[in-house]
Structure 1
Amino acid sequence: MSSFLQDLRFSLRQIRRSPGFMVTAVLTLALGVGANTAIFSLLDQALLRSLPVRAPEQLVVLSGIGKAWAGHSSDHGAGVEQSFSYPMYKDLRDKGTAVFDGLIATAPTSVGITRNKVSELVDGEIVSGNYLSVLGVKAAQGRLLTASDDTVPGGNPVAVLSYHYWQTHMGSDVHAVGETISINGAPFEITGVAAPGFQSAVWGQVPDVFVPMSMLDVVIPGKGKRLQDHTDRWMNIIGRLKPGDTTQHAQVALAPLWHALRAEELKALGTKSQRFVDEYLTRSQLLVAPGARGLSYSRESLAKPLYAVMGMAFLVLLIAAVNVASLLLVRSAARVREFSLRYALGANARRVVQQLLLEGVLIGIAGGVAGLLIAPLCLRVLVQRLSTDGPTAFSTTLDGRLLIFNFAIAVAVSILFSLAPAVQLLRPDIVNSLKQQTTTASGRTLSFRGLIVSLQVGLSVLLLVGSGLFVRTMQNLRHVDTGINTSHLITFHINPLLSGYAKEKVPALHQQILESMTALPGVQAVGATNDAELAETGHTGDVTIEGYTAPPDQDFPIEIPYVSANFFHTMQEPVLAGRSFSEDDDATHPMVGIVNESFAKHYFTNPAAAVGKRVVGGDSKKGEYMTIVGVTRDAKHANLRDAALPTLYSPLKQSKFAEQLYVYVRTATPTEQSFAMVRQAMKQIDPGLAVDELRTMEEQIDTTLGNERMIELLAISFGLLATMLAAVGLYGVLAYSMAQRTREIGIRIALGSSRLGVSRLVVVDVLRLAGIGVMVAIPCSVLLGRLLRSQLFGVSSADPLTLVGVILLIAVVAVIAAIVPARRASSVDPTTALRAE
């Protein structure tokens, strides 16, 4: 302990004597540690952290596997296997008490809330009455939902607000509890407010209001039959196991019950083929998976981008560590005599290594503290980027786990970079080191420093290549041909049923909105659909073609949107054959449809051959055939990455269930002015009609590219940081190398070498060091690109443009780093240099 305290005091004095070195090393390390802490915070919240509920380790997520099914299914993004019918949930809840301490059901939805004559569409969660109590969520105000709120269908109009919504929309008003608000036009009493910190059992969901399942027909108008329909799978189930039970035991214990319940459902479906029976009953299985993190509709899509970004941040940290190691090597060169003297006076290798590691740990701790100041700033920027489309599940608060991670990684890295000078000073040449003359640096010493710099350059190349691939991907996505003209196009969404409109009044309202938008100044065209464009959504189904026999087991999903008469003109999608829809294509006229190129080529070889053919969506025995009157150009629908699906468009006026509406307005007026006019026109139609997602189509596309934009931002930031650190590292080693070679350079000049030749010598040295790093890193970067293939678009993992660009950038950085050392070397006075000896 005495020697440790002595070394500690000495280390603090050494650091105090070199403030410039200390500031540079700490800032370099802080950038790497802070970036890693911020990125790890996102990764921890999305992929690792348990739900903030009571005993989350007891939670499990249920999945029912089996290829055969009948009826309707909504997976919300979690996968159809995790979707269940409400009757199946009730049976599992009531008959699985030997396994579960509680079983809860949940499904996401949107609702229209009207309070104080102000209407808005918000995210909601329709849940079983025991949802909050089984999770162990406490009330911040009032009371939460109970099982008694989920008994009589339509008989319990109560709601619980999220803490965030209560804060931001009601100003934390304690009198809000007991107040009556309108949800989808029906009165609901606010019974309580959920505790702060809790959002949902579904990670990624940020609901503003929780409503019991008994109010399903109000929350999702027209869907009340789901509470009795065994063939409608639309909700997710989470259970709480009894204390001490395991997922394996629960799955085995539930197998007989699952088989019995499926057998009852199979009887209700009627006679089925033996293959269907085998798939539906014999091969079906109820899976019980750990649910401490909750289930998620978005975790899988976030996992790869977050791991990729975490890898980039870790590369930055390694580059920072190597850079600090390089700085320590340069600094240790001036201390060779000091440590040689200590060896000569009897010091052993252990004390020397202890001294150097202690100095490194002090730098690491200081870098960790500085990283804690940088991390929240980085985290706030990232969360803002991820929450451009509303509230996000990510928090900007660094908790205790992240503090531990921050300092653990800072100390670990500090020990790593402290080993470089420790190895160098472990066995110094005591005799020569104690001499007073300046000598040319040994080849071993310079080779070791050169190896460090080449490693730094190689890591920078890996990061720059990854950054370049992500930037190229984003460029390709931004310039992809969507099939529609997105410029001067704004869009908004309404759902009249969520504002209390009866179904029979919706078509007239749709027509009134389209006419009102068309009459606005500067508007060139107005179109509408029930299926939003480029919004990560889609309505697919099967079609039957008159006279066409589909191959056995053909799986060919068809997009089946409803659109207004002027839709294709508004989106500027050309009609290649036949005609577009007209205002006369309504319920009083024969059913008609328009297909896209992919549909026409698949079924009819070419667009012209499709016109006049008859088709029906779904089973021809249940639907009415429509005549294809036109063929339009393919257009991307759900997102920019996927190819256009075969599409069958139907007229909006011939729809029986197109309730929500996405309106598209092509206008020549400035965006803000157009937004104001749209809001005013909708207010004149009905002040209580909530207008949602009013934005330009460019903004709509940016929303769907949220993950890609985050990766691009970080890739550019990390790439620039890596380039800067590589330049600093190259400069540091060159500056030291030239200082050690002063006598050699003086001799060269004295023997007739030109100043240009000396400068060329420096540049060749730096290009050699950079070249070694590049040659090793390029093959590794190609392999890294292959691991990232799923995140790339329109670019290969060995993209020549990216590789050549990175090599040229490293060459430019190396030359820039060599400018100052080269000038100093070329200005050496040989007389002065030789006299020093």
Structure 2
Amino acid sequence: MLNDLRFALRTLRQHPGFALTAIFSIALGIGAASTIFSLVDGLLLRPLAVLNASQVVTLRSVAPTVSGSQFAGASGAMSYPDFADFRDRNRSFDGLLAYQLSVFGFARDAQSQPQMKMGFLVSGNFFRVLGVSPQLGRGFNPEEDQVPARDAVVVLSYDLWAHEFGRDVSVIGRHVNLSGTDFTIVGVAPESFKGLDQFIRPAFFVPIMMGAKLPSAANENLLTGRDKRTFMVKGRLKSGVSIEAANQEAAGIAKSLEQSYPGTNRAIGAGVVTEIQARLALLPFYAGVAASLFFLAGIVLLIACSNVANLTLGRSRSRAREIAVRLAIGAGRLRLVQQLMTESLVIALAGGALGLLMAETAAELFSRLEIVGETPIQLNFQLDHRVLCFTLFVSVASAIVFGLVPAIQSARTDLTPALKSGEPEYGRKRFFGRRALVTAQIAGSVVLLAAATAQYRSSVKMLFADHGFRRDHLLTMKFDPSLIGYTPAQTGQFYKTLIDRTRQAPAVKSAALALFIPLTSTIRQQAVIPEGYAFPSGQESTTVLESTVDEHYFETLDVHILEGRGFLPADLANSPRVAVVNQAFARKYLGPKPIGKRIRLNDANGPWLEVVGVAVTGKYLAVSEPPTEFLYLPLSQDPQPRMTLFAESYGDPAALAGPLRQLVHSIDSNLPIFSVRTMDDIFEQTSVKTRDLTNGILISAGLIGLSLAVVGLFAVVAYQVARRTREIGVRVALGAGRSQIAGMVLRSAATMSVTGIGIGLALSFAAARARGAQPLQPFDRLVTIVVPVSLLLTALLAAALPAWRASRIDPQRALRQD
């Protein structure tokens, strides 16, 4: 094997043109595949950074009462009392842990301005169950998980420790202020542990028992409310216990809880799933995204393999005498195949190494993508041992794909003609195979370019469509007075003062308050029961997106009220409760006359709300989303600690930032202000950059496929000219002109190109029809005309040089060839 490797390296070094072209071609394919794998791995596949991650599973609540909604029951969260019952009654787990993502006001000391940080409220056994040992100090002791609001201790994340404390090892025992309460630092998590979410990196970990002391409405009844399902639950299976057995036990415990607590646990089941299953349940579109990305990478890789196979088949012509001599002196055909496959493996491994460098560059670019929202979402794309193993696997598989058939064909060389002329006698069938490979490459390029063009056109239409709200001349600021100890009454008074003074500011045209910023990642969901609506059997409610807004919101953001009215100052806390729904909600649940209809929140025991208005259906999470049901609640009847101020300016909205900061500090100089951004900037970050990323991936794939197809076409046409040199000489000798010879070569290239374009367009149209539910029809004249014409012209340009060479063949020298 070592001798084969030395011979392969020496042979490739003697033919640098072939070696470099083949290595670069396969590097493009492997690089695309490795990049896509790193994306999908970061989004979906990468295991948790804990001890024996395969033993850690998710225990989810199953709530059929909210099934049927595209957002229903996705999280599978549990209440703390339910978690405690499962923890104490189960026999399948070595331990169950609970955690909840929460917002904190973080300050290093009493003199520091609080910052908004995301942290985990965790059960006391959190680190023990996961098998995570702190970098410094300790985790939580059992007694710190027993008494509410007693043990104010915190474990810092490694990133916060490094950023705020400069990796000071004496940090243990110091105090930090979290939402108005001093906490003692008892530990620092290891650098490798980023939490239990593939997107969100918590800044610190706080015992669940301290959650009740955090001044937020979201933490009321946190430890006692059986209907307050906010905790995610994971567990480590005991040795020898299967997921199926744990699932059966969980279902039995859930049934027992339903019988004991019918008021809160009616129809609430439980199930045990793997980490990947839990991620897919939370965001099911990931499966489609992953499949689409791998399909895209597969096409590029197959085009690359076809290209290298074509180059290898062409090179076998020049090696025919060498191979024939080796066969003549006794080399076995199997031994010859092994030698040739070693050369292919060297090409593939070199291409894989180069592809890894390409993937690393792409991963760095993707990791810089910012997703706007109060939750700090970070895309974790990295080249680790998993990507290296995947790249190695793909490299070896590629070597087999592009190298095996040429190696077998070379080993089957007919000795007599090869020794006589130095060329193999391959015949029409083998040359037809090379033409078929080029045709397939061109077809694949058409599919990629059509997809890229369609995606670009669709995304442009979506970006410039009406999104149901305005974004020009708007500045946003976020606040959460509860993070510095405001009571609900003080919070309400602060927001009243803030909105009154902001609307009186001379540079402000209008202002409003809302819980949710359109097209950002943070949004609430609400279980709703429309009065008189008949749900399918076993379902009693639906889940819709929801935001709390004040009476100025619809005017300030230009959200049109189609029927009825928006909210009024008369909609007070002690007034009859009201709501505004969007048109999609009204059409689906309320019928042709929605005004005056009632809806109930949460469950059958929840409050009734009268629908007083119907707003236009807009875009809430993404510009590409289908029409989605949405619910608006008035701030006066649904007070929230964390709100966003929308200020409309007469001119540049960014110019409002300074005056509004001064205004806020005149109300309370200690109040932190978060996320000061214009709506145009938010739209740029959430929608335009996402579009650019998607379009960049597709266009890059299309251009890579096109480049490889052009190289393959050039190689086949050049080989065809060399193979037909004698025939061309005869044609010239009989009077054929140079233009006729060039035309003959170009016609051959055009035939392959047109055939590939036709097949590619047919596949593209079939794929479009299979995706018939897309919001925009993707195929138009740009796809059906511009892409094929451009590809055909590019193909003819690639064939122009071999055609020109063919037209310059000297008939005398050609006829003297054997």
TM-score range, shorter chain: 0.7 to 0.9
- After superposition, the C-alpha distances for 1:208-238 in whole angstroms (9 at most, x for unaligned) are 1211111122336233313112222221221
Structure 2 segments unaligned to the other structure (5+ residues): none
Say whether residues 1:725 and 2:708 are aligned partners: yes
Say whether residues 1:514 and 2:514 are aligned partners: no
Provide the secondary structure at the position in 2 that maps to 1:139. Answer: coil
Say whether residues 1:569 and 2:555 are aligned partners: yes
Does the 8 Å contact 1:48/1:293 carry over to 2?
no
Say whether residues 1:85 and 2:71 are aligned partners: no
Does the 8 Å contact 1:376/1:396 carry over to 2?
no
Given the alignment, which residue of 122, 129, 137 partners 2:124? 129
Which residue is equivalent to 2:383? 398
The 5 A counterparts of 1:589-604 are: 596-597=582-583
- After superposition, the C-alpha distances for 1:74-124 in whole angstroms (9 at most, x for unaligned) are x9979357222211211222233x332211111112222123522221211
Provide the secondary structure at the position in 1 that maps to 2:714. Answer: helix
Deviation at 1:198, TM superposition (A): 0.9
- After superposition, the C-alpha distances for 1:480-538 in whole angstroms (9 at most, x for unaligned) are 32122223333232222123211111222213333454456654332221233233524
Given the alignment, which residue of 164, 169, 176 partners 2:171? 176
Deviation at 1:421, TM superposition (A): 2.7
Aligned pair in 2 of structure 1 residues 500, 322: CA closer, same or farther (>3 Å)? same
Aligned-partner Cα distance in 2 for 1:776–1:341 = 42
Does the 8 Å contact 2:468/2:560 carry over to 1?
no
Does the 8 Å contact 2:549/2:634 carry over to 1?
yes
Provide the secondary structure at the position in 2 that maps to 1:227. Answer: coil
Aligned-partner Cα distance in 2 for 1:534–1:256 = 41
Deviation at 1:615, TM superposition (A): 5.4
Aligned-partner Cα distance in 2 for 1:370–1:559 = 46
Given the alignment, which residue of 53, 59, 62 partners 1:62? 59
Which residue is equivalent to 2:490? 505
Amino acid at match of 1:131: F
Does the 8 Å contact 1:595/1:649 carry over to 2?
yes
Aligned-partner Cα distance in 2 for 1:551–1:76 = 18
Aligned-partner Cα distance in 2 for 1:233–1:147 = 23
The 5 A counterparts of 1:76-225 are: 79=73, 82-96=76-90, 98-115=91-108, 116-219=111-214, 221-222=216-217, 223-225=219-221
Provide the secondary structure at the position in 2 that maps to 1:333. Answer: helix
Deviation at 1:241, TM superposition (A): 2.4
Provide the secondary structure at the position in 1 that maps to 2:64. Answer: coil
Amino acid at match of 1:747: V
- After superposition, the C-alpha distances for 1:155-177 in whole angstroms (9 at most, x for unaligned) are 12222111122223332233333
Aligned-partner Cα distance in 2 for 1:263–1:175 = 52
Aligned pair in 2 of structure 1 residues 525, 825: CA closer, same or farther (>3 Å)? farther
Aligned-partner Cα distance in 2 for 1:649–1:8 = 69
Provide the secondary structure at the position in 2 that maps to 1:126. Answer: strand
Does the 8 Å contact 1:439/1:740 carry over to 2?
no
Provide the secondary structure at the position in 2 that maps to 1:52. Answer: coil
Amino acid at match of 1:250: A
Does the 8 Å contact 2:449/2:787 carry over to 1?
yes
Deviation at 1:257, TM superposition (A): 4.1
Say whether residues 1:12 and 2:9 are aligned partners: yes
Aligned-partner Cα distance in 2 for 1:598–1:421 = 59
Which residue is equivalent to 1:741? 724
Does the 8 Å contact 2:418/2:424 carry over to 1?
no
Which residue is equivalent to 1:434? 419
Aligned-partner Cα distance in 2 for 1:166–1:194 = 9
Aligned-partner Cα distance in 1 for 2:349–2:55 = 38
The 5 A counterparts of 1:455-494 are: 455-494=440-479
Say whether residues 1:361 and 2:345 are aligned partners: yes
Say whether residues 1:34 and 2:31 are aligned partners: yes
Provide the secondary structure at the position in 2 that maps to 1:715. Answer: helix
- After superposition, the C-alpha distances for 1:604-641 in whole angstroms (9 at most, x for unaligned) are 877xx777x5857649998687683x654443334434
Provide the secondary structure at the position in 2 that maps to 1:769. Answer: helix
Does the 8 Å contact 2:103/2:117 carry over to 1?
yes
Aligned-partner Cα distance in 2 for 1:746–1:577 = 82
Which residue is equivalent to 1:240? 236
Given the alignment, which residue of 302, 306, 310 partners 1:326? 310
Provide the secondary structure at the position in 2 that maps to 1:735. Answer: helix
Given the alignment, which residue of 283, 296, 300 partners 1:316? 300
Q: More deviation in 742-751 or 111-120?
A: 742-751
Which residue is equivalent to 1:664? 646
Which residue is equivalent to 1:696? 678
Which residue is equivalent to 1:48? 45
Does the 8 Å contact 1:51/1:292 carry over to 2?
no
Does the 8 Å contact 2:417/2:423 carry over to 1?
no
Which residue is equivalent to 1:773? 756
Aligned-partner Cα distance in 2 for 1:526–1:347 = 85
Which residue is equivalent to 1:655? 637
Which residue is equivalent to 2:801? 820
- After superposition, the C-alpha distances for 1:222-263 in whole angstroms (9 at most, x for unaligned) are 333131122222212212222232223334445554433332
Deviation at 1:46, TM superposition (A): 3.6
Aligned-partner Cα distance in 1 for 2:311–2:250 = 62
Deviation at 1:476, TM superposition (A): 3.8
Aligned-partner Cα distance in 2 for 1:535–1:742 = 64
Deviation at 1:297, TM superposition (A): 7.3
Q: More deviation in 515-524 or 817-826?
A: 515-524
What is the TM-score normalised by the length of structure 1?
0.86
Aligned-partner Cα distance in 2 for 1:439–1:241 = 63
Does the 8 Å contact 1:161/1:208 carry over to 2?
yes
Q: More deviation in 419-428 or 799-808?
A: 799-808
The 5 A counterparts of 1:485-634 are: 485-518=470-503, 522-536=507-521, 537-542=523-528, 549-551=532-534, 561-576=547-562, 596-597=582-583, 613=596, 618=601, 628=612, 632-634=615-617
Aligned-partner Cα distance in 2 for 1:821–1:680 = 72
Which residue is equivalent to 1:273? none
Percent identical residues: 30
Does the 8 Å contact 1:585/1:591 carry over to 2?
yes
Does the 8 Å contact 2:121/2:207 carry over to 1?
yes
- After superposition, the C-alpha distances for 1:330-375 in whole angstroms (9 at most, x for unaligned) are 2222122222333333433223222211211121222222223222
Does the 8 Å contact 2:199/2:380 carry over to 1?
no
Does the 8 Å contact 1:184/1:500 carry over to 2?
yes
Aligned pair in 2 of structure 1 residues 91, 771: CA closer, same or farther (>3 Å)? same
Aligned pair in 2 of structure 1 residues 401, 633: CA closer, same or farther (>3 Å)? closer
Q: More deviation in 762-771 or 685-694?
A: 685-694
What is the TM-score normalised by the length of structure 2?
0.88
Q: More deviation in 393-402 or 726-735?
A: 393-402
Aligned pair in 2 of structure 1 residues 623, 356: CA closer, same or farther (>3 Å)? closer
Aligned-partner Cα distance in 1 for 2:575–2:235 = 52
Does the 8 Å contact 1:474/1:709 carry over to 2?
no
Aligned-partner Cα distance in 1 for 2:607–2:243 = 45
Aligned pair in 2 of structure 1 residues 359, 386: CA closer, same or farther (>3 Å)? farther
Does the 8 Å contact 1:78/1:296 carry over to 2?
no
What CA RMSD, in Å, does the superposition of the two structures yield over aligned residues?
A: 3.7
Does the 8 Å contact 1:185/1:501 carry over to 2?
no
Aligned pair in 2 of structure 1 residues 17, 125: CA closer, same or farther (>3 Å)? same
Amino acid at match of 1:663: L
Aligned pair in 2 of structure 1 residues 520, 161: CA closer, same or farther (>3 Å)? farther
